[in-house]
Each structure stands twice: as structure tokens, then as C-alpha cells.
Structure 1
Amino acid sequence: MRTVIITIPFLLFFACGPECKNENAIASTPVSIEVERLEAAFFSQDSPEGIENLLEEYREFSRLFLDSDQYPTDSILAAKIFRLIQNPSIDTLYNEAVSEYSDFDPIREDLEMAIGKMTTLFPETRVPKIQTTVSGLYKDLFISDSLILIGLDFFIGPKATYKPLEIPGYVLKRYNKEHLASIIVKFLAGNQVYKGKSSSLLSEMVDFGKTYYLASSLVPCTQDSVWLGYTSRDMEVIDENEAVIWANLLENEVLYETNHITKRRFLGERPNVYEISQECPGRIGAWVGWRIVESYMKNNEVSIEALLADTDNEKIFRLSGYKPQSR
């Protein structure tokens, strides 16, 4: 496979406000999301019996997030949780999580905007309840159409004293307050995308592109770097070398590849796509797919609903007119 060297121009980048993409593409229906901060309830208990009462009161949370069904009785799980919250390390996690998320309103407001716009597009959309907790790094997220459960201790950010060991550093950099709402919105958006009828790399790239396009339309002032989980340096690299990246995909004839290993190279979680360049960030195929979808929507009179329902992704590519030029 041919490798292309990507260069970064030595330019000064000045700070500016976020660009609002597709800001008026979808009208918003006002919604109100209930947020329950369960970490305070659990950590204020002074006995296993108090924990057990909470497990019963929040039965769905207990089952979906704490796996209560795996225990013969709630009393066994309650005793385990009570021992956990007595641990000084967990106390540190709790205090750092509560401090980082003392103001949850920005996240709630982004999610209310996203759900409100989804309700306009898809009237059957339900308004989920949010429940937060500190689980001792047991689980990060559970997302359904009716309930969003968040382990805040996973999303404290780089200053956290304790970090989940099973998550690679290049993924963990997205586990922070800035990215939390975008992670949830991308999941909800992805559930509205009809998968392409082809199993090619190109088709899966376009599927990802549809997800990013919808997500960025639901919360239009979130920066591209946040949706992608890229650093500002990553964005400089791909923006300045879009034509080089595209030329690499063409020259190596991978767009119509259906091999899962090949597809993972361009769509999977990796620190870099070395097949293109040491400087090319992972999941680059998803970004190119987003650019294709943006070009398609710009050059064709198509509604977002029609875009998401269209499974002919190779047709979408042909009609997109996507052809990046060297800068």
C-alpha cells in the first residue's frame, strides 16, 4: 500500500468562536429533559440497607447500569456498593466528578436542543430521562430512547486522579465534559441512519458521514473537532491535506474494498492511519464520508430525512461531486 507524506503548513491559527453548521436546517421543538443526580443519593447513605432501598427505588438504573440481575439478591449488591463508597479512592473520584459537573446545564441544554430537533424530524422520538452516577469506573454510558445513564467518573477529563485503564489514551482524550454531549448525540443520530446496502468501505464511510451530518445539524454550534474527537492539530492536518488523503484512498483502490481488516484501518479506533501518514488521525474515513455527505447535500435538493433513508451510498457519492483540490 502506497504511503503519502502529509505536511503541516507553518501558519498562525487565531482563536475564534465555533462555526454553526446547518444552523437553520431543522426547526426545534421545545423539550425538557429531567436530570437525576444519583451519585449524591448513593454516596450519602450510611448503611447497606439505605443502598438497597435505592436499588429498589431506581430499579431500571440498577438493572441496566449496575447489573443487579446478576446478583441473587439486592442485599449482596448493596453491601458491595457500600464497601465501595467507603474506599478513599472512590471518594476522590466522587469529589472530582461532582466538582467537574457542578453545572450540568450546558450538557442538558445541548441534549434538549438535539432531542427537540429530532422530534421535529421524527415525531415518534421520545424525550429520555438522564441519570448520573459515580460507579467506581464500572460503566461509562448506557443510552436508549427513554433513558441515558452516565458514569461521570469516566468523563472527569485529563486532570482525573484515576482513569479507566482499559481505554486507550487516544480514545480517552475524548472522555471529558467538552465531548460528553457530542458522544450521546452521535449515538442517537446513528440510530436514525439506514445502513447502506453495500458493504464497501465507501458505503460505510458515507454511513458515518450521514451520522456526523445529522449530529452537527442537531447541535449546530459544536465544533467539527469535538464531533470527530480530534485535536486542533489533527484538524489542521486533515483540512490542509484533504486532497492528499483522498488521492491516497483512490490510488490504493480501497474505496470498494469489503475486507473487514482493510475497512478497520480507515474507520476503526486507531491513534493514526499509518497507511496514509504518521500524521493522519484515526477514523479518517469517517471524516471523508462526512465531507462527501456535505457535498451531496450542498449540490442536491434533498431533505435530511431522505438522506438518512437512502441506502444507495454509492449513488450519493456519485451525485456529491466530491473532489477535493490541493491547497
Structure 2
Amino acid sequence: MKKITLPALTFFSVLAIISCNRTKDTCELPEAYLKIPVDLEIVRMEDLYFEELTREKLLYNQEKYPEFSAAMFDNMGFQNQDQMVDELLKIHGDSGMQDLYQEVKVHFDNIENIEESLENAFRGIKHHYPDFKIPQVYTFVTGFGSDLIINEDIIVIGLDYFLPEDHPFQPVDLPYYILKRYNEQHLVPTIVTALSSQFNHIDVKDRTLLAEMIFYGKAYHFTKTILPCTPDEYIIGYETKEILGSYANEEMIWGHFIENELLYETNPFEIRRYTGEAPFTDVISPDAPGRIGRWLGWNIVDDYLINNDLSLQELMEQDDAREIFSKSGYKPR
């Protein structure tokens, strides 16, 4: 495969793309979203497990919050309740864990911004899906064991993962290109993208690269619709320069996919090259950001909606990736 050296953006191309981007400073949430009542209470479980924890208090927590306990501790391999209690008392009494908890308390003493952002996100989802049941949301200090646990009933936010980038406490097993997305700006968009999976219909028999690209494109469009004032960078997890560079070189990137007949590729290894986590898409160019196939899928989905009069529900229910592509009329900008 021929690799591409992506040229630098011109001043005018940067201005053109920036002028099309909406930010929180120039955007207001739809009034229809704001009219939907949402009463969200985030339970700060770290306080219950790190402040003067005793056996009795731990057992009480387990009984009062069984969904949290099951989500957080059932996969830790405890053989019985006594072992679980003993180990959890040891873990949460550890000096290093206590130090981590104290740092989380300093940086996340007030989580009103997170709570407000989640409330607005849930309003948006309920506007499009009135039967959507708002999950119970918990925060916790996991010792870098779990960043986010998300399903239809529960969300657990591991706040230790979202400490500032220059903080001395950081997960040691994450490369920087992933670690830089662990911040408050990416938190709610990541949660909404994960929640989109329950609405994102797929054809399980279609295992092509195109199908995976469209799946992610629908997920990102869902998140942008629910969080219209959130910059694209925080939805897809690119830096601004990566967004700008990708748009400036979209024709060459798309040309690589067409010339190498990639859209209907079914080899999982090849698919991962274009949609999997990576610092860059090396088979295209060292300047092309990782997961570039997801970004292209988002553009295809956006064009599909521009050229077809569909609601968000209709888009998410469409499981035919080839039809989405064929009716998108997609062409690089």
C-alpha cells in the first residue's frame, strides 16, 4: 500500500473549517431538550468506601447499593462474601489508595458541571427516545481498575482516571494518545457514545470494514445530536489539528480506501488498522490520526442524512451499511 505524506493546511483552509465548527460559546441547547424534566443524583460511592470504612459499613453499602456492588466487585474473583469483605477492607485501607482518594476529593470535590452535562445529555436522549430509562450514576475511586462501567441500568465513573494530565497519579498501562482523552471534556461525550449502542442497529452478518465505519459514524452522529454544542474533538477524541488535517486531506485519505478496495474488506486485522486504537494510521501516513475509518464513517453518515430526510431514530434503526453508503452520495469535501 502506498503511504501518503499529508501536506500542511493553508491558512484559508483552517479558517474555513473553523468557521463551520460550533463551540459552547456560540451554541445553545435546543429548547425542546431543556423542557424535558430530569432529576439526576450522582451517588459519590468513594466517600462510602474510603471514609472510616468498617466491616459493618461495607456490608451495609453492599446491601443498600446492590447494583453498584455487582458491577464493581463481582468480576474480582471473590469466592465468598467473607473473602470479599476482607479484601475490600484491605484494598480501601491501603495508604496508596487513600492518597489517591484524597487527590480525587481535591479535584472533584464539586462535580456539578459533570452532573449538569449528564442531565442535558439525558434530556436529549429522552427527547428522541421518550422511553429511555435514565441509568443510576455513581462515582468511585477504582485504583485505575475501571474507567467507566456503562449499561442500560448503571453508570460508574472511575474519577481517578480523569485527574488532570499533569497529575502524579496516572494509569501506567495506557499510552499517551489514549491517556490524553481522559479528562472532563471527553467524559460525557464518551458516555453518550457508549449509550448509543443500545439504539444502534447492526447487521451481525456484515463484517466488512464499511459496516464498522458506519457503526461508528452512527454512534458519533448520535452523540453530536444529543450534545450539539460539544466540539467534534471531544466526540471522536481527536485533537483540533487532527480534525483540521483530516478535512484538509480528506480526498487523499478517501483515495487510499478506494485504490486499495478496502470498504468490503473482512479481514479483522486489516479492519483494525483503520478503526482500532492507534496513535496514527500508519498504512496511510504517519500524519493520519488513528481510527481514521471511524472519522470517514461519520462523514458518510452525515452525508446520508443531508441527502435523505430521516429522524435520529430512523438512522439508528437502519442496519444496512451498504444502503447508507450508496444513498449518502458521499464525496470528500
Question: What CA distance in whole angstroms lies between the structure 2 residues aligned with 1:46 and 1:192?
Answer: 40
The 3-state SS of whatever aligns with 2:327 is helix
Aligned residue among 193, 202, 219 for 2:227: 219
Which residue in the other structure is 1:268 paired with?
276
CA contact 1:30–1:116 (8 Å) conserved in 2: yes
Q: Does 1:305 align with 2:313?
A: yes
Change (3 A) 1:223 1:122: same
Residues 164-205 of structure 1, C-alpha deviations (whole Å, 9 max, x = no match): 223332222211222111111100012211114632211221
Question: What CA distance in whole angstroms lies between the structure 1 residues aligned with 2:86 and 2:75?
Answer: 12
Which residue in the other structure is 2:116 paired with?
109
Q: Does 1:254 align with 2:258?
A: no
Residues 132-155 of structure 1, C-alpha deviations (whole Å, 9 max, x = no match): 111222222211212111111122
CA contact 1:36–1:131 (8 Å) conserved in 2: yes
Q: CA deviation at 1:27?
A: 4.5
Identity fraction in percent: 32
The 3-state SS of whatever aligns with 1:282 is coil
Change (3 A) 1:48 1:128: same
Aligned residue among 292, 300, 303 for 2:300: 292
CA contact 1:18–1:223 (8 Å) conserved in 2: yes
Q: CA deviation at 1:32?
A: 1.6
CA contact 2:202–2:320 (8 Å) conserved in 1: no
Change (3 A) 1:146 1:188: same
Change (3 A) 1:231 1:68: closer
Gaps of 5+ in 1: none
The 3-state SS of whatever aligns with 1:67 is helix
Give me the TM-score of the superposition, normalised by structure 2. Answer: 0.89
Question: What CA distance in whole angstroms lies between the structure 2 residues aligned with 1:79 and 1:279?
Answer: 50
Gaps of 5+ in 2: none
Question: What CA distance in whole angstroms lies between the structure 1 residues aligned with 2:81 and 2:239?
Answer: 44
The aligned amino acid for 1:95 is Q
More displaced stretch, 292-301 vs 106-115: 106-115
Question: What CA distance in whole angstroms lies between the structure 2 residues aligned with 1:153 and 1:27?
Answer: 31
Q: CA deviation at 1:94?
A: 1.1
Q: Does 1:316 align with 2:324?
A: yes
More displaced stretch, 19-28 vs 217-226: 19-28
The aligned amino acid for 1:214 is F
Question: What CA distance in whole angstroms lies between the structure 2 residues aligned with 1:33 and 1:217?
Answer: 21
Question: What CA distance in whole angstroms lies between the structure 2 residues aligned with 1:311 and 1:26?
Answer: 28
Pairing of 1:62-141 with structure 2 (within 5 A): 62-67=69-74, 70-141=77-148
Change (3 A) 1:11 1:319: same
Q: Does 1:18 align with 2:23?
A: yes
Question: What CA distance in whole angstroms lies between the structure 2 residues aligned with 1:242 and 1:258?
Answer: 23
Aligned residue among 176, 200, 219 for 1:169: 176
The 3-state SS of whatever aligns with 1:116 is helix
Q: Does 1:154 align with 2:158?
A: no
Residues 78-137 of structure 1, C-alpha deviations (whole Å, 9 max, x = no match): 332332333332223112222222222222222222222222322321011111111222
Question: What CA distance in whole angstroms lies between the structure 2 residues aligned with 1:63 and 1:23?
Answer: 35
Question: What CA distance in whole angstroms lies between the structure 2 residues aligned with 1:257 and 1:23?
Answer: 39
CA contact 1:269–1:282 (8 Å) conserved in 2: yes
Change (3 A) 1:127 1:195: same
The aligned amino acid for 2:146 is K
Question: What CA distance in whole angstroms lies between the structure 1 residues aligned with 2:22 and 2:183?
Answer: 20
Residues 254-311 of structure 1, C-alpha deviations (whole Å, 9 max, x = no match): 1111111111110111111001100111111111110111111112211111111112
Q: CA deviation at 1:69?
A: 7.9
Which residue in the other structure is 1:240 paired with?
248
CA contact 2:300–2:325 (8 Å) conserved in 1: yes
The aligned amino acid for 2:121 is A
CA contact 1:193–1:308 (8 Å) conserved in 2: yes
More displaced stretch, 93-102 vs 219-228: 93-102
Aligned residues: 325
Change (3 A) 1:68 1:299: closer
More displaced stretch, 31-40 vs 159-168: 159-168
Question: What CA distance in whole angstroms lies between the structure 2 residues aligned with 1:222 and 1:283?
Answer: 20
Question: What CA distance in whole angstroms lies between the structure 1 residues aligned with 2:284 and 2:177?
Answer: 18
